[in-house]
Amino acid sequence: MIKISHLVKNYGSLCAVDDISFEVERGEVVGFLGPNGAGKSTTMNMLTGYLSSTSGTIKIGGVDILDDPLNAKRLIGYLPEQPPLYPDMTVEEYLSFAYDLKGCKLNKAKHLKEICNVVKISDVSHRLIRNLSKGYKQRVGIAQALVGNPPVIIFDEPTVGLDPKQIIEIRNLIRTLGKEHTVILSTHILQEVQAVCDRIIIINKGKIVADELTENISRAVENTRRFNVKICGPQKEVLSALRNLGGICYAEVLAARDGDAYTYMIESEVGVDIRKKLFWTLAEKKWPLIGMEALGMSIEDIFIAVVDKTDDGKNDTAKKKRSVEVNRAAAEKEMASAIVDRTADEAQSRAESAEKDTDSDSEYYTDYTIKTDTFAGGKSEDK
Ligand code: ADP
Ligand code: MG
């Protein structure tokens, strides 16, 4: 359905997209995963014909996006990173406008009504876009992408800036769309691609570093190396013992204190399961270990895990060095997103039980509580 060959984009001397090639089959849901600045948006903008490439070709359904842009674009629905909404239009007016622009041939009223139902914006269709919450605006952006029922749907960071409940809803929506469409979405959040995609393409510094089925990536990621451990004992001594324990490459004390216990974040070296050794060491010192929580991997870890698997450890030293260099900010960011994800899971169960009662409207959903501090932390990785 989509075929990208040797795509390159230079911005002056900066090579934002560096010779990438991949294909996406009809009906696949593919995640484009990479840190901020990796080149995801640039790729998507070229894929959708918003931006010209420096070199390389893009074919959508066999149609070259540069040779025949109109027909290629007809096959694509696109939600850019900043959805092009007109705040002074109502939702209805805006979708009608998008319909006319795209020159659709479907029954207009019926088609737009269907889209509003799928995206759950029927109840706000008469409201001005400027007055909608961020989550609803995002849904209007998605609705716009669905107008004309294009077979290929491309979402650039569809859940950035949404709260956990909205994130779950949008992810569910994307999963639903994936049943009948070819979907490509970009994100810098691993859990997001794991949640919705069949296949994950990891991009870093403009290059594809992995292209794998989600289950393979998940397997590579399973052996987590990062834990929050709660230990009773003198903080300084505990920290120094952790740092001196063979197999641990990083240890830091976190602010949280609980009686005489402190929480520490530790990271083990690649391929080391530190848990038993940690337990016995602490037992010997008579510092009770009263909690241990595995933390998710950062994108950096995934690069290491995935690249490890694919190149027989040729760059072992470089990778080890990189993993030791994992800085505190990255660790904190990862923790924050783990917390947000957890909050999101809780929100989902809460949302599900709430949905049984009423078809609740998240815009007016006030009893929904998030710890503001953790949420702000999680959001800090957004742009
Ligand atoms: P991502 O979407 O993965 O965060 P982008 O594709 O937006 O990454 O950006 C890739 C790189 O290209 C970044 O280094 C970014 O600063 C640079 N870049 C993006 N757009 C432009 C532009 N219009 N002019 C110059 N540099 C740009
Ligand atoms: Mg981007």
Who has greater pLDDT, 67 or 271?
67
What spatial distance separates the first Cα and last Cα of the chain, rounded to whole Å? 31
Amino acid at 4: I
How far apart are the C-alpha atoms of 49 and 281, rounded to whole Å? 59
Average pLDDT, the chain: 82
pLDDT bracket for residue 122 (50, 70, 90): very high
Per-residue pLDDT, 359: 41
Nearest ligand atom owner, CA of 45 = 1
The percent of residues in the chain predicted with pLDDT above 90, rounded, is 55
CB 160 near ligand 1, within 6 Å: no
CB 185 near ligand 1, within 6 Å: no
Cα(33) to ligand 1 centroid in Å equals 15
Region 26-33: mean pLDDT is 93
192: nearest Cα among 84, 302, 116: 302
Per-residue pLDDT, 162: 84
Q: How far is CA 1 from CA 64, 150, 183, 381, in A?
A: 12, 12, 10, 32
Per-residue pLDDT, 306: 63
Please determine, for residue 325, whether its predicted confidence score (pLDDT) is greater than 50: no
CB 240 near ligand 1, within 6 Å: no
CB 383 near ligand 1, within 6 Å: no
Atom of ligand 1 lying closest to residue 156 CA? 2
Region 269-298: mean pLDDT is 88
Q: How far is CA 356 from CA 139, 155, 163, 360, 362, in A?
A: 22, 29, 21, 9, 14
Cα(231) to ligand 1 centroid in Å equals 43
How far apart are the C-alpha atoms of 273 and 99, rounded to whole Å? 56
Write the DSSP assignment of 265-282 as a string of letters. EEEEPTT---HHHHHHHH
Residue 140 in 3-state DSSP?
A: helix
pLDDT bracket for residue 315 (50, 70, 90): very low
Please determine, for residue 319, whether its predicted confidence score (pLDDT) is greater than 80: no
The full set of domains in the chain, from first to last, is 2-220 (3.40.50.300), 223-334 (3.30.70.1340)
Please determine, for residue 339, whether its predicted confidence score (pLDDT) is greater than 70: no
Per-residue model confidence as pLDDT tens digits over 64-108 = 999 999 999 999 999 999 888 999 999 999 999 999 999 888 999
Please determine, for residue 311, whether its predicted confidence score (pLDDT) is greater than 50: no
Please determine, for residue 212, whether its predicted confidence score (pLDDT) is greater than 90: no
Please determine, for residue 296, whether its predicted confidence score (pLDDT) is greater than 50: yes
